[in-house]
Amino acid sequence: MIECRKLSRDFKVFKKNEGFKGTVRSFFKRDYYINPAVKDFDLELGSHGLVGLLGPNGSGKTTLMKMMTGIIVPSRGTVKVLNEIPSHRKNSFKKNISLVMGQKAQLWWDIPVMDSFLLFQKYYEIEETDFRKRVNELGERLNTRKLFHIPVRKLSLGERMKMELMACLLHEPKVIFLDEPTIGLDIVAQKSVRAFLKDYYQEKKPLIILTSHYMADVEALCEKIILILEGVKKFEGSIDDFKGRFRKEKTLVFNFEEEVKSFSRDLEEKFHCEWSKDRSQLKIRVPEKQLKKTVIQILNQFSVSDFHTEKVGVEEVMDEILSGS
């Protein structure tokens, strides 16, 4: 369904020195540099699945999506989506894909949402009965039915994003690209969008590619993760594999029966230890290979009431990767 081979995209970026002199000089002589936004990206995805595209700002996620949707043309390499080359921009291809961008709106700003939906109905040649059924169903699930006749500019950010999602799903696309669909939303709206996407995926089984800075989105929705750093694919696999590969340490949490006044100096020097105020709880980060040995050592030396390994979130792993630790 999606196939990328050595996909690359460069951007020519204009550089200007600060100040008046820099401004005048740049008017007559431009300095450019080539920014390789995506480099030799290989990917193969099937006809359905929920895939998370992770990476920091400027890592090339959106550029990748834009090449997959045919918005921009690759500099090198090939990309095929639904057996079509996206940059050929065939109508048959465009009828089967959709893109939602959390930072850009495609609904008409000053008219009621329903008017924009009617326009989408014509674009995608949706039968009247199907259109009404889908609008009502999606409106019911996203709890937006009462907002259909309100101009977009009067809607809150969360409401607007739900409407953007509705607009992109009206024609039931086979491949859906969601670029930060929950950006700027409050926790409640984020959860509601997440729950909706999960349900929608379960029911229609499209291929959904999602980028998000909220790792909760990724953890709740994605079956597979692709990590992209500086335009290069660094990882592709399940969330568990992701955590395992990048997080070589585990956090052990020990609760002691009483305050621990003196702890093993050897362990404190070797590993990162974090004590509770009353020194009755310890969080210790231990490399996986030394996990068993360390647990036995602590259990033997101290009176432990209970212990467990702490569940590591994707966010923590991403933090570590991005901070280079």
Binding site for other proteins (CB under 8 A): 11, 58, 62, 66, 69-73, 87, 89, 91-92, 94-95, 97-99, 101-106, 108, 110-112, 115-116, 118-119, 122-125, 151, 179-180
Is the CB of 153 or the CB of 292 nearer to other proteins? 153
Is the CB of 111 or the CB of 295 nearer to other proteins? 111
Q: Shortest distance, CB of residue 212 to other proteins, whole angstroms?
A: 12
Is the CB of 112 or the CB of 244 nearer to other proteins? 112
Which residues, in sequence order, are CB contacts of 58 under 8 Å at separation 6+? none
Is the CB of 125 or the CB of 266 nearer to other proteins? 125
Q: Shortest distance, CB of residue 109 to other proteins, whole angstroms?
A: 8
Is the CB of 161 or the CB of 239 nearer to other proteins? 161
**Which pair of tokens denotes residue 196?**
């909706």
Q: What are the phi and psi torsion angles at 262 (to 5°)?
A: -130, 130
- In 44-150, where does DSSP find H-type helix? 61-69, 91-94, 113-123, 128-142
**Helix, strand or coil, per DSSP, at residue 63:** helix
Q: Shortest distance, CB of residue 121 to other proteins, whole angstroms?
A: 8
Is the CB of 9 or the CB of 162 nearer to other proteins? 9
Is the CB of 18 or the CB of 125 nearer to other proteins? 125
Q: Shortest distance, CB of residue 216 to other proteins, whole angstroms?
A: 20
Give the span between the Cα atoms of 317 and 325, in whole angstroms: 10
**Which pair of tokens denotes residue 272?**
């990162």
* Residues making up the chain, counted from first to last: 325
- C-beta separation of 33 from 13 below 8 A: yes
Q: Shortest distance, CB of residue 71 to other proteins, whole angstroms?
A: 5
Do strands 281-287 and 272-275 pair parallel, antiparallel, or not at all (unpaired)?
antiparallel
Q: Shortest distance, CB of residue 214 to other proteins, whole angstroms?
A: 15
Q: Shortest distance, CB of residue 219 to other proteins, whole angstroms?
A: 22
Q: How far is CA 325 from the centre of its chain?
A: 22
Q: Shortest distance, CB of residue 237 to other proteins, whole angstroms?
A: 26
Is the CB of 66 or the CB of 233 nearer to other proteins? 66
Instruction: Select from 207, 196, 146, 211 the least CA-distant residue to 172.
Output: 207
First to last CA, the chain: 36
- In the chain, where does DSSP find H-type helix? 19-28, 61-69, 91-94, 113-123, 128-142, 157-169, 187-204, 215-221, 239-246, 265-270, 291-301, 314-323
- C-beta separation of 53 from 210 below 8 A: yes
